[in-house]
Structure 1
Amino acid sequence: MQPLSYDPAYDPVEHLDRMKTRLVVHSIGLPAIWVPERNMVIRDRGLRNDLIRPVLGHECVHVENVDPGGHHPRHEARANLHSALRMTDPAEWAKLTACHSDYDRICLELGITRSQFLALHEHERRSAASRRRLERYGDTIYLEPRMGAGQWAARMSA
């Protein structure tokens, strides 16, 4: 499995080739689908060019994890997050999310799908929340306490 960090040169077609998975372009009702029984990914012929990379990146995660066919929510969430982590530059993500509130515009700028954007946004939100430290002293809870009097982000008393 490839590391889950940003790679500007990441090419999902090459990745599928390295995993010896066949890529077929055909008219189907979905953007793409992983068929584990045939070790094949089928991509829709009418898929927009700007969606080919993120959609195939999503399917690569299914192939890597040998996910069963179908759309299990846990597998879809993992595929969205892992593909977004590979294809999204963290510096560009921080810059765009800080100055824009239009998610679709950010998706177009980053070259990811809305589902990948939402998975990465939730991942970033949970990561930031887990870094916040709470400590209780007596009947008072301090958010991000540091050494010295009055050095905390917030204080709550019971």
Structure 2
Amino acid sequence: MTIDTHLERLAALAGIRIEYALLPPDRDGEYRHKHRTIRLRRGMSARLHRSVLAHELAHAVFADEPSRFGPVHAKQERRANEWAALRLIHHDDYRRAEELHEGHAGGMATELGVVVSVIEAYRDILLRVEDAVYVRPRMGAGMWDHREDVA
């Protein structure tokens, strides 16, 4: 199963309908909680489509309602970006892409089939401590999604 099929299946299981529509040029997608609908702009590249769908699906998972209050909006967007990054990027693939492209976000995004903002969101959830990198660390011993020893 491809990641695209997996995302579409997640949406279906959650009762979220995906529609393709003409959206304003500055919008690639949106989630409408009241209607349980994700609207996506027609004609996006596969990388952009996958990235936007995962981002909007995160808004659905968290039942986000649009907010004009800056801190709330920023929190919703950051959380959606991080949720999408964790679903679209496997850490071993990220590590290989980082080595192959010497950390260049654009090359890594192309390699991993996502957009640069997904790479940036994934980087934001990494924590480097001495000779280790932790993915999504939390408080408490052994509380992380992945630990990678680095030189």
1:37-95 CA-partner distances (Å, limit 9, x unpaired): 21111000122223211210111111000011258111111111111111112111111
Work out the number of aligned pairs and report it: 124
TM-score by length of structure 1 reads: 0.70
Aligned-partner SS, 1:34 = strand
Identical residues among aligned pairs (%): 20
Amino acid at match of 1:24: E
Q: CA deviation at 1:110?
A: 0.8
Which of residues 57, 60, 65 in structure 1 aligns to 2:57? Answer: 60
The residue type equivalent to 1:14 in the other structure is R
Indicate if the aligned counterparts of 1:32 and 1:56 stay in contact, CA closer than 8 A: yes
- Which amino acid is 1:129 matched to? V
Amino acid aligned to 1:128: R
Q: Secondary structure of the equivalent of 2:108?
A: helix
Instruction: State how far apart, in whole Å, the 2-side matches of 1:91 and 1:107 are.
Output: 14
Quote the residue 1:38 is aligned against: 35
Post-superposition offset of 1:130: 8.6
1:77 aligns with 2:74: no
In the superposition, relative to structure 1, how do residues 131 and 61 fare at CA in structure 2: closer, same or farther (>3 Å)?
farther
1-structure distance, mates of 2:60, 2:130: 30
TM-align CA RMSD: 2.2
Structure 1 residue corresponding to 2:13, chosen from 6, 18, 30: 18
Relative contact order, CA 8 A, sep 6+: which one is greater? 1
Matching residue of 1:123:
125
Partner SS state of residue 66, structure 1? coil
- In structure 2, runs of 5+ residues without a counterpart are 133-151
After the TM superposition, which segments of 4 or more aligned residues of structure 1 sit over 4 Å from their partners?
7-10
- Find out whether 1:102 has 2:128 as its counterpart: no
Q: Quick one: distance in 1 between partners of 2:35 and 2:92?
A: 38
Question: C-alpha separation between the residues in 2 aligned to 1:44 and 1:121?
Answer: 27
Taking structure 2 as the reference length, what is the TM-score of the superposition? Answer: 0.73
Aligned-partner Cα distance in 2 for 1:61–1:42: 13
Distance 1:25 1:70, change over 3 A: farther
**3-state SS of the aligned residue for 2:63?**
coil
